Structures are given as structure tokens and as C-alpha cells.
């Protein structure tokens, strides 16, 4: 029997894998067996004879950011040349173009701007919502949201409640990278810790909100840290 067969059987049956079992799958080269098991899980969870998708657009509203991430070629510091904030009408035009193509969601993220208060983001959401009421605003990753709390002296819940009232539909899982502080401390400066990222998500989900979650891998993290990230 293949050394990972029993692990894949557990996964297909819907049983939770242990840390060591997850690590064994990462270390395995049997991609065919893993792929078949993954397809079996998908079929078990979604037996319908079709798959769904949505049409969305990624809009970055600014590249000005107080954080320093070694992997990011996008950002500019507050005093650096090349920093920009997307004009409101240009941003709304991008949303309009998306809707015209059948789009139903906007993924909107940006740098950690050093000056803009929460009212600026509320007005941004309200402007989009008033013109495009059927578009889901999937916006502001946990690092941005945590930054808003510090800049405005508000709790995470206060920030999330105000943005939700302004039109926020769901939040993206950006900025997770690897949810292990050893990795985060080496790769990023001025960004949220693992606990802060998770706290933003915890509060949002307690409010009944929906989100995605991301994982950026293939850099300085170990295989064990990938599993630790998934377990968080």
C-alpha cells in the first residue's frame, strides 16, 4: 500500500488530518493519487454536475504603503516618487467596465495609506454602492483593516461595522502570506502579526461576514510552516 493511501482515504471520508499526515502529503510526489483524492472530496461536497464561477476585477486604489514587504514591487513609501491614489472617477469607471462585461464583484485592495481616515473608505464604498448596487464589494484585507484601527483609534469591530454599513460585502484574505511570525518578521515590516490577522477574521465572521483566505508559499517558509499556516 502506498504510504499516503490511508491519509488520502481519511481525507476523502471527510476526516480531519493530523499535522504529520498533512506534512506527509506535502512531501509526497504522488500527484496523481493526491489529485484523484482532491477530486473525490470536491465531488462529495459538490455532487452537482456543474461548477460555478464569478466575474470580478481587482482594483488597487493606492500603492502608497507604510509597510515594507520584501516580495512587493508594487508599493511606494509615503515620501517616495511613484506613489499614487486612483482618482475616484477613474475607479468608478473601472467598476462600470466590469459590470458591462457581466461582472458581479470587485476585489478592492491597496497599500496602508498613512493619512486617509476611515471616512474616506466609507465614502468610497458608498459611492460604488450607490451606482452599482448589485456588485459585491470584496474589499480591504486584514492588514488594511487593522491599519484602519490604529489610524482612527477604533476597535476592529467598530471599523468593520462602519464599513459594512457603508457597503462592504466580504473581505479578501490577503496579507496572510504564511501565518507564522518567524516568516512574517523576516519578510515584512510594519504589517500585522499572525494573531492580529486572525483576530480581524474572527471578529468579521462573528458578525456573520464572509471572507476568503490566502497562502503565499514557495519562499523562506518550511514545509512544517505551511502546515502550521493551514492549521491556523
- pLDDT for 118: 98
Give the helix ranges, DSSP H, for the chain.
Answer: 5-12, 19-27, 31-45, 88-100, 118-131, 142-152, 156-166, 181-187, 194-206, 223-231
pLDDT, the chain, mean: 96
Average pLDDT, integer, range 219-227: 98
- pLDDT for 205: 98
Query: CATH number of 56-220: 3.40.50.1970, 3.20.20.70, 3.40.50.2300, 1.20.1260.120?
Result: 3.20.20.70
Q: Identify whether the C-beta of residue 201 lies closer than 8 Å to the C-beta of residue 211.
A: yes
CA distance 7 to 130: 50
- pLDDT for 210: 98
- Residue 211: strand pairing partners: 171
- pTM for the complete prediction? 0.93
Rounded to the nearest 5°, which phi and psi values hold at 50?
-155, 165
1 pLDDT band (50/70/90 cuts)?
Answer: very low
Instruction: Report pLDDT digits (tens) over 76-108.
Output: 999 899 999 999 999 999 999 999 999 999 999
User: Domains of the chain: which residue ranges?
Assistant: 5-45, 56-220
- pLDDT for 193: 96
Instruction: Report pLDDT digits (tens) over 113-135.
Output: 999 999 999 999 999 999 999 99
- pLDDT for 2: 65
- pLDDT for 3: 86
Instruction: Report pLDDT digits (tens) over 155-204.
Output: 999 999 999 999 999 999 999 999 999 999 999 999 999 999 999 999 99
Amino acid at each position: 500500500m502506498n504510504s499516503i493511501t490511508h491519509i488520502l482515504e481519511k481525507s476523502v471520508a471527510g476526516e480531519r488530518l493530523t499535522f504529520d499526515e498533512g506534512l506527509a502529503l506535502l512531501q509526497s510526489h504522488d500527484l496523481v493519487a493526491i489529485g484523484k483524492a482532491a477530486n473525490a472530496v470536491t465531488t462529495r461536497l459538490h455532487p452537482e454536475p456543474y461548477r460555478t464561477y464569478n466575474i470580478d476585477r481587482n482594483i488597487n486604489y493606492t500603492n502608497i504603503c507604510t509597510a515594507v514587504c520584501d516580495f512587493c514591487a508594487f508599493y511606494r513609501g509615503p515620501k517616495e516618487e511613484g506613489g499614487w491614489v486612483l482618482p475616484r472617477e477613474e475607479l468608478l469607471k473601472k467598476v462600470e467596465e466590469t459590470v458591462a462585461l457581466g461582472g458581479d464583484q470587485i476585489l478592492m485592495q491597496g497599500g496602508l495609506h498613512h493619512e486617509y481616515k476611515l471616512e474616506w473608505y466609507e465614502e468610497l464604498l458608498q459611492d460604488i454602492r450607490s451606482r452599482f448596487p448589485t456588485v459585491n464589494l470584496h474589499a480591504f484585507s486584514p492588514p488594511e483593516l487593522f491599519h484602519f484601527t490604529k489610524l482612527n483609534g477604533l476597535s476592529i469591530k467598530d471599523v468593520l461595522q462602519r464599513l459594512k454599513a457603508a457597503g462592504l460585502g466580504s473581505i479578501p484574505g490577503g496579507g496572510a502570506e504564511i501565518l507564522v511570525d518567524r516568516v512574517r518578521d523576516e519578510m515584512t515590516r510594519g504589517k500585522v502579526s499572525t494573531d492580529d490577522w486572525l483576530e480581524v477574521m474572527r471578529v468579521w465572521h462573528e458578525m456573520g461576514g464572509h471572507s476568503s483566505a490566502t497562502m503565499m508559499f514557495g519562499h523562506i517558509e518550511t514545509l512544517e510552516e505551511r502546515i502550521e499556516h493551514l492549521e491556523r
